[in-house]
Structure 1
Protein backbone atom coordinates (compact mmCIF):
# COMPACT_ATOMS: atom_id res chain seq x y z
CA UNK A 1 0.00 0.00 0.00
CA UNK A 2 1.10 3.45 -0.80
CA UNK A 3 1.80 5.87 2.12
CA UNK A 4 -0.50 8.51 0.57
CA UNK A 5 -3.39 6.05 0.50
CA UNK A 6 -2.84 5.16 4.17
CA UNK A 7 -2.83 8.85 5.13
CA UNK A 8 -6.00 9.41 3.08
CA UNK A 9 -7.75 6.47 4.79
CA UNK A 10 -6.68 7.77 8.23
CA UNK A 11 -7.93 11.27 7.41
CA UNK A 12 -11.25 9.94 6.17
CA UNK A 13 -11.54 7.78 9.31
CA UNK A 14 -10.71 10.76 11.53
CA UNK A 15 -13.25 12.88 9.65
CA UNK A 16 -15.93 10.25 10.18
CA UNK A 17 -15.13 10.06 13.90
CA UNK A 18 -15.32 13.87 14.21
CA UNK A 19 -18.69 13.97 12.41
CA UNK A 20 -20.09 11.17 14.58
CA UNK A 21 -18.97 12.88 17.81
CA UNK A 22 -20.27 16.27 16.67
CA UNK A 23 -23.64 14.79 15.69
CA UNK A 24 -23.91 13.01 19.04
CA UNK A 25 -23.29 16.28 20.90
CA UNK A 26 -25.92 18.03 18.78
CA UNK A 27 -28.42 15.22 19.45
CA UNK A 28 -27.77 15.38 23.20
CA UNK A 29 -28.16 19.17 23.20
CA UNK A 30 -31.47 18.80 21.34
CA UNK A 31 -32.63 16.22 23.89
CA UNK A 32 -31.91 18.77 26.63
CA UNK A 33 -33.86 21.43 24.72
CA UNK A 34 -36.80 19.07 24.21
CA UNK A 35 -36.74 18.05 27.87
CA UNK A 36 -36.73 21.70 28.90
CA UNK A 37 -39.68 22.31 26.57
CA UNK A 38 -41.61 19.58 28.40
CA UNK A 39 -40.94 21.26 31.74
CA UNK A 40 -41.93 24.63 30.33
CA UNK A 41 -45.28 23.29 29.11
CA UNK A 42 -46.05 21.77 32.52
CA UNK A 43 -45.07 24.99 34.32
CA UNK A 44 -47.29 27.06 32.03
CA UNK A 45 -50.20 24.73 32.74
CA UNK A 46 -49.57 25.12 36.48
CA UNK A 47 -49.45 28.89 36.09
CA UNK A 48 -52.84 28.74 34.35
CA UNK A 49 -54.44 26.71 37.16
CA UNK A 50 -53.22 28.94 40.01
CA UNK A 51 -55.48 31.98 39.31
CA UNK A 52 -58.57 29.72 39.21
CA UNK A 53 -57.53 28.17 42.49
CA UNK A 54 -56.98 31.59 44.09
CA UNK A 55 -60.38 32.82 42.88
CA UNK A 56 -62.07 29.74 44.34
CA UNK A 57 -60.37 30.21 47.69
CA UNK A 58 -61.15 33.96 47.77
CA UNK A 59 -64.84 33.26 48.10
CA UNK A 60 -64.34 31.17 51.24
CA UNK A 61 -61.26 32.62 52.92
CA UNK A 62 -61.77 36.36 52.80
CA UNK A 63 -59.59 36.86 55.87
CA UNK A 64 -56.57 35.18 54.31
CA UNK A 65 -55.61 37.94 51.90
CA UNK A 66 -51.86 37.68 52.66
CA UNK A 67 -51.71 34.00 51.71
CA UNK A 68 -53.59 34.67 48.46
CA UNK A 69 -51.31 37.61 47.63
CA UNK A 70 -48.24 35.42 48.28
CA UNK A 71 -49.52 32.83 45.80
CA UNK A 72 -50.24 35.48 43.16
CA UNK A 73 -46.85 37.15 43.70
CA UNK A 74 -45.02 33.80 43.52
CA UNK A 75 -46.83 32.89 40.31
CA UNK A 76 -45.91 36.20 38.69
CA UNK A 77 -42.27 35.83 39.78
CA UNK A 78 -42.19 32.38 38.17
CA UNK A 79 -43.70 33.70 34.95
CA UNK A 80 -41.19 36.58 34.82
CA UNK A 81 -38.09 34.47 35.56
CA UNK A 82 -35.47 34.67 32.82
CA UNK A 83 -32.75 32.27 33.92
CA UNK A 84 -32.92 28.59 34.80
CA UNK A 85 -31.68 29.30 38.33
CA UNK A 86 -34.16 32.16 38.77
CA UNK A 87 -36.98 30.01 37.44
CA UNK A 88 -36.10 27.13 39.75
CA UNK A 89 -36.10 29.49 42.75
CA UNK A 90 -39.38 31.10 41.67
CA UNK A 91 -41.06 27.75 41.10
CA UNK A 92 -39.92 26.56 44.52
CA UNK A 93 -41.36 29.75 46.03
CA UNK A 94 -44.64 29.07 44.19
CA UNK A 95 -44.71 25.48 45.46
CA UNK A 96 -44.30 26.76 49.03
CA UNK A 97 -47.05 29.34 48.58
CA UNK A 98 -49.38 26.68 47.18
CA UNK A 99 -48.62 24.41 50.15
CA UNK A 100 -49.69 27.26 52.44
CA UNK A 101 -52.85 27.72 50.41
CA UNK A 102 -53.76 24.04 50.70
CA UNK A 103 -52.97 24.08 54.41
CA UNK A 104 -55.31 27.06 54.69
CA UNK A 105 -58.15 24.97 53.27
CA UNK A 106 -58.04 22.84 56.44
CA UNK A 107 -59.46 25.84 58.34
CA UNK A 108 -62.41 26.19 55.96
CA UNK A 109 -64.53 23.02 55.78
CA UNK A 110 -66.85 24.52 53.14
CA UNK A 111 -63.87 25.23 50.92
CA UNK A 112 -62.46 21.77 51.50
CA UNK A 113 -65.76 20.30 50.30
CA UNK A 114 -66.11 22.61 47.29
CA UNK A 115 -66.15 20.57 44.09
CA UNK A 116 -64.29 23.20 42.05
CA UNK A 117 -61.57 23.50 44.71
CA UNK A 118 -61.16 19.73 44.88
CA UNK A 119 -60.96 19.50 41.08
CA UNK A 120 -58.32 22.26 40.92
CA UNK A 121 -56.39 20.70 43.79
CA UNK A 122 -56.35 17.34 42.00
CA UNK A 123 -55.35 18.97 38.72
CA UNK A 124 -52.53 20.84 40.44
CA UNK A 125 -51.31 17.69 42.18
CA UNK A 126 -51.27 15.91 38.82
CA UNK A 127 -49.30 18.78 37.30
CA UNK A 128 -46.81 18.67 40.19
CA UNK A 129 -46.21 14.98 39.47
CA UNK A 130 -45.74 15.71 35.76
CA UNK A 131 -43.33 18.54 36.55
CA UNK A 132 -41.31 16.28 38.83
CA UNK A 133 -41.11 13.61 36.12
CA UNK A 134 -40.18 16.17 33.46
CA UNK A 135 -37.54 17.63 35.76
CA UNK A 136 -36.01 14.17 36.31
CA UNK A 137 -35.93 13.57 32.56
CA UNK A 138 -34.38 17.01 31.95
CA UNK A 139 -31.73 16.52 34.63
CA UNK A 140 -30.90 13.10 33.20
CA UNK A 141 -30.55 14.60 29.70
CA UNK A 142 -28.35 17.40 31.07
CA UNK A 143 -26.21 14.87 32.93
CA UNK A 144 -25.66 12.81 29.78
CA UNK A 145 -24.94 15.93 27.72
CA UNK A 146 -22.53 17.45 30.28
CA UNK A 147 -20.72 14.12 30.71
CA UNK A 148 -20.29 13.82 26.94
CA UNK A 149 -18.85 17.34 26.81
CA UNK A 150 -16.12 16.36 29.26
CA UNK A 151 -15.10 13.05 27.70
CA UNK A 152 -12.15 12.76 25.36
CA UNK A 153 -12.13 13.25 22.36
CA UNK A 154 -15.54 14.96 22.48
CA UNK A 155 -14.16 17.68 24.76
CA UNK A 156 -11.90 18.88 21.94
CA UNK A 157 -14.79 19.05 19.49
CA UNK A 158 -17.14 20.59 22.07
CA UNK A 159 -14.67 23.35 22.88
CA UNK A 160 -13.95 23.97 19.19
CA UNK A 161 -17.63 24.32 18.29
CA UNK A 162 -18.77 26.24 21.38
CA UNK A 163 -20.83 23.59 23.14
CA UNK A 164 -21.49 24.76 26.72
CA UNK A 165 -22.54 22.73 29.73
CA UNK A 166 -26.10 23.11 30.98
CA UNK A 167 -27.42 23.73 34.49
CA UNK A 168 -29.63 21.26 36.29
CA UNK A 169 -33.15 22.18 37.38
CA UNK A 170 -32.57 21.63 41.07
CA UNK A 171 -34.90 21.56 44.02
CA UNK A 172 -34.75 24.54 46.33
CA UNK A 173 -34.08 24.50 50.02
CA UNK A 174 -37.82 24.45 50.76
CA UNK A 175 -38.24 21.21 48.78
CA UNK A 176 -35.20 19.58 50.38
CA UNK A 177 -36.31 20.28 53.93
CA UNK A 178 -38.40 17.62 55.64
CA UNK A 179 -41.93 18.83 56.34
CA UNK A 180 -42.77 19.58 59.94
CA UNK A 181 -45.56 17.45 61.31
CA UNK A 182 -47.33 18.60 64.46
CA UNK A 183 -50.08 16.87 66.36
Structure 2
Protein backbone atom coordinates (compact mmCIF):
# COMPACT_ATOMS: atom_id res chain seq x y z
CA UNK A 1 0.00 0.00 0.00
CA UNK A 2 2.80 2.47 0.87
CA UNK A 3 4.58 1.68 -2.40
CA UNK A 4 1.39 2.45 -4.35
CA UNK A 5 1.03 5.80 -2.54
CA UNK A 6 4.66 6.68 -3.30
CA UNK A 7 4.19 5.79 -6.98
CA UNK A 8 0.99 7.85 -7.19
CA UNK A 9 2.70 10.83 -5.50
CA UNK A 10 5.67 10.53 -7.88
CA UNK A 11 3.33 10.47 -10.89
CA UNK A 12 1.46 13.52 -9.55
CA UNK A 13 4.73 15.42 -9.06
CA UNK A 14 5.86 14.57 -12.61
CA UNK A 15 2.49 15.66 -14.03
CA UNK A 16 2.64 18.88 -12.03
CA UNK A 17 6.17 19.70 -13.25
CA UNK A 18 5.25 18.91 -16.86
CA UNK A 19 2.13 21.07 -16.69
CA UNK A 20 4.18 23.90 -15.18
CA UNK A 21 6.63 23.75 -18.08
CA UNK A 22 3.78 23.77 -20.61
CA UNK A 23 2.15 26.78 -18.89
CA UNK A 24 5.44 28.67 -18.94
CA UNK A 25 5.98 27.88 -22.63
CA UNK A 26 2.43 29.06 -23.41
CA UNK A 27 3.04 32.24 -21.41
CA UNK A 28 6.02 32.96 -23.68
CA UNK A 29 3.87 32.52 -26.78
CA UNK A 30 1.24 34.82 -25.29
CA UNK A 31 3.84 37.48 -24.45
CA UNK A 32 5.27 37.28 -27.97
CA UNK A 33 1.81 37.70 -29.46
CA UNK A 34 1.50 40.97 -27.49
CA UNK A 35 4.74 42.16 -29.09
CA UNK A 36 3.37 41.05 -32.44
CA UNK A 37 0.21 43.14 -31.94
CA UNK A 38 2.25 46.24 -31.06
CA UNK A 39 4.54 45.73 -34.07
CA UNK A 40 1.47 45.42 -36.29
CA UNK A 41 0.03 48.62 -34.81
CA UNK A 42 3.31 50.41 -35.43
CA UNK A 43 3.42 48.97 -38.96
CA UNK A 44 -0.08 50.29 -39.66
CA UNK A 45 0.89 53.82 -38.55
CA UNK A 46 3.59 54.12 -41.21
CA UNK A 47 1.34 55.05 -44.18
CA UNK A 48 -0.28 57.86 -42.15
CA UNK A 49 3.10 59.23 -41.08
CA UNK A 50 4.46 59.05 -44.60
CA UNK A 51 1.40 60.72 -46.12
CA UNK A 52 1.45 63.52 -43.54
CA UNK A 53 5.13 64.27 -43.85
CA UNK A 54 5.26 63.92 -47.64
CA UNK A 55 2.92 66.90 -47.89
CA UNK A 56 5.62 69.02 -46.28
CA UNK A 57 8.89 67.48 -47.42
CA UNK A 58 9.10 66.30 -51.00
CA UNK A 59 12.90 66.42 -51.19
CA UNK A 60 13.64 64.09 -48.23
CA UNK A 61 13.24 61.07 -50.50
CA UNK A 62 15.80 58.73 -48.93
CA UNK A 63 14.16 58.58 -45.52
CA UNK A 64 10.69 58.24 -46.98
CA UNK A 65 11.86 55.59 -49.43
CA UNK A 66 13.21 53.45 -46.58
CA UNK A 67 9.96 53.75 -44.64
CA UNK A 68 7.82 53.13 -47.72
CA UNK A 69 9.91 50.09 -48.63
CA UNK A 70 9.16 48.64 -45.19
CA UNK A 71 5.47 49.39 -45.58
CA UNK A 72 5.15 47.79 -49.03
CA UNK A 73 5.32 44.34 -47.47
CA UNK A 74 2.19 42.94 -45.90
CA UNK A 75 2.64 42.41 -42.19
CA UNK A 76 0.95 39.01 -42.30
CA UNK A 77 3.49 37.80 -44.87
CA UNK A 78 6.43 38.43 -42.53
CA UNK A 79 7.83 35.57 -40.46
CA UNK A 80 9.05 36.10 -36.89
CA UNK A 81 12.61 36.77 -38.04
CA UNK A 82 11.47 39.35 -40.61
CA UNK A 83 9.30 41.01 -37.95
CA UNK A 84 12.36 41.31 -35.71
CA UNK A 85 14.35 42.77 -38.62
CA UNK A 86 11.50 45.21 -39.33
CA UNK A 87 11.54 46.23 -35.66
CA UNK A 88 15.28 46.99 -35.77
CA UNK A 89 15.05 48.81 -39.11
CA UNK A 90 12.05 50.87 -38.02
CA UNK A 91 13.76 51.96 -34.81
CA UNK A 92 16.69 53.27 -36.84
CA UNK A 93 14.60 54.96 -39.54
CA UNK A 94 12.15 56.43 -37.00
CA UNK A 95 14.90 58.62 -35.54
CA UNK A 96 15.83 59.93 -39.00
CA UNK A 97 12.15 60.42 -39.82
CA UNK A 98 11.49 62.72 -36.88
CA UNK A 99 14.78 64.54 -37.43
CA UNK A 100 13.53 65.39 -40.93
CA UNK A 101 10.24 66.59 -39.46
CA UNK A 102 12.17 68.99 -37.20
CA UNK A 103 13.06 70.98 -40.34
CA UNK A 104 9.40 71.77 -41.03
CA UNK A 105 7.72 73.96 -38.38
CA UNK A 106 4.33 73.75 -40.12
CA UNK A 107 4.54 69.96 -40.03
CA UNK A 108 5.49 69.87 -36.36
CA UNK A 109 2.51 72.08 -35.59
CA UNK A 110 0.11 70.02 -37.72
CA UNK A 111 -2.58 68.39 -35.56
CA UNK A 112 -2.53 65.32 -37.80
CA UNK A 113 1.21 64.90 -37.35
CA UNK A 114 1.04 65.51 -33.60
CA UNK A 115 -1.71 62.91 -33.22
CA UNK A 116 0.28 60.38 -35.23
CA UNK A 117 3.40 61.13 -33.20
CA UNK A 118 1.47 60.62 -29.92
CA UNK A 119 0.03 57.38 -31.22
CA UNK A 120 3.46 56.15 -32.27
CA UNK A 121 4.98 57.12 -28.91
CA UNK A 122 2.20 55.27 -27.10
CA UNK A 123 2.79 52.23 -29.30
CA UNK A 124 6.52 52.38 -28.56
CA UNK A 125 5.80 52.47 -24.81
CA UNK A 126 3.43 49.50 -25.08
CA UNK A 127 5.97 47.65 -27.20
CA UNK A 128 8.66 48.22 -24.57
CA UNK A 129 6.31 46.91 -21.86
CA UNK A 130 5.47 43.88 -24.00
CA UNK A 131 9.18 43.17 -24.49
CA UNK A 132 9.73 43.34 -20.72
CA UNK A 133 6.86 40.90 -20.17
CA UNK A 134 8.22 38.60 -22.86
CA UNK A 135 11.72 38.61 -21.36
CA UNK A 136 10.29 37.97 -17.87
CA UNK A 137 8.35 35.00 -19.27
CA UNK A 138 11.49 33.69 -20.98
CA UNK A 139 13.49 34.04 -17.76
CA UNK A 140 10.82 32.22 -15.75
CA UNK A 141 10.69 29.44 -18.36
CA UNK A 142 14.50 29.15 -18.59
CA UNK A 143 14.73 28.94 -14.80
CA UNK A 144 12.27 26.05 -14.83
CA UNK A 145 14.07 24.30 -17.69
CA UNK A 146 17.48 24.65 -16.07
CA UNK A 147 16.80 24.02 -12.38
CA UNK A 148 16.49 20.70 -10.60
CA UNK A 149 14.25 18.66 -10.67
CA UNK A 150 12.28 20.12 -13.59
CA UNK A 151 15.43 20.10 -15.75
CA UNK A 152 15.27 16.29 -15.77
CA UNK A 153 11.72 16.31 -17.04
CA UNK A 154 12.41 19.20 -19.44
CA UNK A 155 15.23 17.22 -21.05
CA UNK A 156 13.04 14.14 -21.43
CA UNK A 157 10.24 16.07 -23.15
CA UNK A 158 12.36 18.38 -25.31
CA UNK A 159 11.87 21.67 -23.45
CA UNK A 160 14.93 23.74 -24.33
CA UNK A 161 16.29 27.08 -23.22
CA UNK A 162 15.02 30.13 -25.15
CA UNK A 163 16.80 33.41 -25.87
CA UNK A 164 15.60 36.73 -24.46
CA UNK A 165 15.11 39.73 -26.73
CA UNK A 166 18.15 41.98 -26.86
CA UNK A 167 18.88 45.29 -28.50
CA UNK A 168 21.66 45.73 -31.05
CA UNK A 169 24.97 47.04 -29.74
CA UNK A 170 24.58 50.25 -31.77
CA UNK A 171 21.38 51.12 -29.87
CA UNK A 172 23.09 50.69 -26.49
CA UNK A 173 25.36 53.68 -27.11
CA UNK A 174 24.21 56.95 -25.59
CA UNK A 175 23.39 59.32 -28.45
CA UNK A 176 25.46 62.46 -28.87
CA UNK A 177 22.57 64.93 -28.76
CA UNK A 178 24.85 67.94 -29.26
CA UNK A 179 25.99 66.69 -32.66
CA UNK A 180 22.64 65.14 -33.64
CA UNK A 181 21.27 68.41 -35.01
CA UNK A 182 24.59 69.73 -36.36
CA UNK A 183 24.92 67.10 -39.06
The answer (yes or no) to whether the contact 1:78–1:94 under 8 Å persists in 2 is: no
The answer (yes or no) to whether the contact 1:70–1:97 under 8 Å persists in 2 is: yes
- The alpha-carbon deviation at position 175 of structure 1 amounts to 2.5
Instruction: Find the aligned partners of 2:128 and 2:12 in 1 and give their Cα distance.
Output: 39
Instruction: Find the aligned partners of 1:161 and 1:55 in 2 and give their Cα distance.
Output: 51
| CA deviation string 1:33-90 (max 9, x = no partner) | 1111111111100000011101111111000010101122345579455245x53343
Instruction: Find the aligned partners of 2:144 and 2:72 in 1 and give their Cα distance.
Output: 36
Find the counterpart in structure 2 of residue 116 from structure 1. 112
Q: Which runs of 5+ in 2 are unaligned?
A: none
- The alpha-carbon deviation at position 137 of structure 1 amounts to 0.5
2:79 to 74, 77, 82: 82
Give matches, 1:128-147, under 5 Å. Answer: 128-147=124-143
- The alpha-carbon deviation at position 151 of structure 1 amounts to 1.0
For normalisation by structure 2, the TM-score amounts to 0.90
Give matches, 1:46-65, under 5 Å. Answer: 46-65=42-61
The answer (yes or no) to whether the contact 1:135–1:169 under 8 Å persists in 2 is: yes
| CA deviation string 1:68-121 (max 9, x = no partner) | 01122345579455245x533431210110111001111111111111111101
Find the counterpart in structure 2 of residue 93 from structure 1. 89
1:36 to 27, 32, 36: 32
| CA deviation string 1:139-170 (max 9, x = no partner) | 00001001100111111211211222222222
Instruction: Find the aligned partners of 1:114 and 1:48 in 2 and give their Cα distance.
Output: 20
Q: Which runs of 5+ in 1 are unaligned?
A: none
Q: Tell me how many residue pairs correspond in the alignment.
A: 178
For normalisation by structure 1, the TM-score amounts to 0.90
